[in-house]
Chains A and B, each alone.
Chain A
């Protein structure tokens, strides 16, 4: 089995040098190119055609997201492994959408890098433990359904008694505009359009 070829893109030369030092000690992998510019790398990839592209996410002239998209469009056979300082789920999600096969943090140790390169080179995905944790958390949160707050239920009771915004505002020591905001939120959460619909919803679910 011939060694898998790697191309590195990072706007910091010292990071590239560090990666080269580590990867040179990992058997089965070989670095065939590097660039501190994503734009230049796009052209270089046409002639070098590596198995794996190791790229930074936050770069000045072109973001890793855009770069990955272009690479996957032009050279779909290249596997992209993102290497970043950031672990925010939104960034990771966008990189996944752009077509990466893996995402690891820059302070990742050698063992994890070996694992990531190994997985990615055989067509599997790899996400570091920090990244997986962030992704799982964001997924868990998005599953949560909306619920009415105590204050919102109190306001529904007042609406039931036919109190106007002014009266509700005075009773709760808030401005009328805030009452308006509450009303908007309540209608959205209950998926109703009118007071009648809202009260029907509230009675049916025994909220008030």
Chain B
């Protein structure tokens, strides 16, 4: 038996189906546009992160390159100053000394000028030695980080500031590059304390053990507000951060007005 569907009803059903289909299609369309939008946004964000990471990587690479080049250049200039200018001035002084001896007999009227000249050459020798030392201390290359830091601390002339350096080295020597960069970092931190802190006590502690290198530089001076960016950068702390990052380490700078300053550096040994 066949059920007879009236044509009118049949048309009605068809329209109904059509409407639903349209609604469903619209719904799917909206949904996919929504998802597409979300996905696109996500994609954009991801791209941004990738770009940012690349930029950071690039910056680190650039800093690393600069630090590396700078240290090499310093080593070269210090070497040239010592071996070239320094020796030349030393020899010049010796010659003048000998000349002075002869003048004493044959031209005593020139003695004063010669003595003055010798004095100037002597000053030149001292100057060259000081500059070369500042550039790249010989003791750092020859004897390593701890003797170099000891020497650096000994050379600080300050009656009002008491400096204590303690070093514990349980591991073998660090590589020369790491030592040089660490030396600069401690030098910078100590110089900051000496110049700006107005402290009476300065403690430098260095430990090299199985975990890595830890350095703390603490003073009991006036401290500063670490949230003030300009001061932060002006104090050469930015330099410290860049160099520690170069050594793949971390640095904590803790200070507040009246509470002294702590610079704590950690370099994990790989």
Please give the residue numbers on chain A whose beta carbons come within 8 Å of chain B beta carbons, in ascending order.
12, 14-15, 17-19, 21-22, 24-25, 58, 63, 85-91, 94, 106-107, 109-110, 134, 137-138, 141, 144, 146-147, 149-151, 172-175, 177-178, 181-182, 184-185, 188-189
Contact indicator A134/B154 (Cβ below 8 Å):
yes
Q: Indicate whether B135 reaches chain A with its CB closer than 8 angstroms.
A: no
A138 nearest CB neighbor, chain B only: B154
Contact A90-B91, Cβ < 8 Å, known A147-B164, A149-B203: no
- 21 pairs across A/B with beta carbons < 8 Å? A14-B87, A15-B87, A15-B90, A17-B91, A18-B90, A18-B94, A21-B95, A25-B101, A85-B129, A86-B129, A88-B151, A90-B139, A94-B143, A107-B90, A107-B126, A110-B100, A141-B165, A149-B201, A149-B203, A150-B260, A178-B254
Q: Which of B91-120 contact A (CB under 8 A)?
A: 91-95, 97-98, 100-101, 118
Contacts of B166 in A (CB 8 A): 146, 185, 189
Interface of A is mostly: helix
Q: Complex formed: what's the CA distance from A141 to B122 in Å?
A: 29
Contact A106-B125, Cβ < 8 Å, known A14-B91, A141-B150, A149-B201: yes
Q: How far is the CB of B106 from chain A (nearest CB, A)?
A: 14
B148 nearest CB neighbor, chain A only: A90
Q: Complex formed: what's the CA distance from A58 to B89 in Å?
A: 16
Contact A91-B95, Cβ < 8 Å, known A137-B154, A174-B254, A175-B250: no
Contacts of B73 in A (CB 8 A): none
Contact indicator A188/B168 (Cβ below 8 Å):
yes
Q: Indicate whether B241 reaches chain A with its CB closer than 8 angstroms.
A: no
Q: Indicate whether B205 reaches chain A with its CB closer than 8 angstroms.
A: yes
Please give the residue numbers on chain B whose beta carbons come within 8 Å of chain A beta carbons, in ascending order.
82-83, 86-95, 97-98, 100-101, 118, 121-122, 125-126, 129, 137-139, 142-143, 147-148, 150-151, 153-154, 164-166, 168, 201, 203, 205, 207, 214, 216, 218, 220, 226, 250, 252, 254, 260, 262, 264, 266
Q: How far is the CB of B246 from chain A (nearest CB, A)?
A: 19
Of the listed residues B121, B153, B203, B266, the one surrounded by the most CB atoms of chain A closer than 10 A to its CB is B203
A141 nearest CB neighbor, chain B only: B154
Contact indicator B87/A181 (Cβ below 8 Å):
no
Known: A21-B98, A91-B142, A138-B154. 5 other contacts (CB 8 A): A18-B92, A21-B97, A89-B150, A90-B151, A181-B266
Contact indicator A177/B97 (Cβ below 8 Å):
no
Contacts of A24 in B (CB 8 A): 98
Contact A149-B143, Cβ < 8 Å, known A14-B88, A88-B137, A134-B154: no
Contact A151-B94, Cβ < 8 Å, known A141-B154, A188-B168: no
Q: Complex formed: what's the CA distance from A90 to B214 in Å?
A: 23
Contacts of A107 in B (CB 8 A): 89-90, 93, 121-122, 125-126
Contacts of B250 in A (CB 8 A): 175, 177
Q: Complex formed: what's the CA distance from A19 to B97 in Å?
A: 10
Contacts of B129 in A (CB 8 A): 85-87
Contact indicator A177/B266 (Cβ below 8 Å):
yes
Contacts of A181 in B (CB 8 A): 207, 214, 216, 264, 266
Q: How far is the CB of A90 from chain B (nearest CB, A)?
A: 4
Q: Complex formed: what's the CA distance from A4 to B128 in Å?
A: 33
Q: Complex formed: what's the CA distance from A17 to B88 in Å?
A: 11
Contacts of A21 in B (CB 8 A): 94-95, 97-98
Q: Which of A63, A86, A87, A182 contacts B216 (CB 8 A)?
A: A182
Q: Complex formed: what's the CA distance from A137 to B82 in Å?
A: 24
B263 nearest CB neighbor, chain A only: A178
Q: Complex formed: what's the CA distance from A181 to B250 in Å?
A: 13
Contacts of B100 in A (CB 8 A): 110
Q: Which of B93, B151, B168 contacts A89 (CB 8 A)?
A: B151
Q: How far is the CB of A19 from chain B (nearest CB, A)?
A: 6
Q: Complex formed: what's the CA distance from A90 to B140 in Å?
A: 10
Contacts of A12 in B (CB 8 A): 83, 87, 91
Contacts of B201 in A (CB 8 A): 149
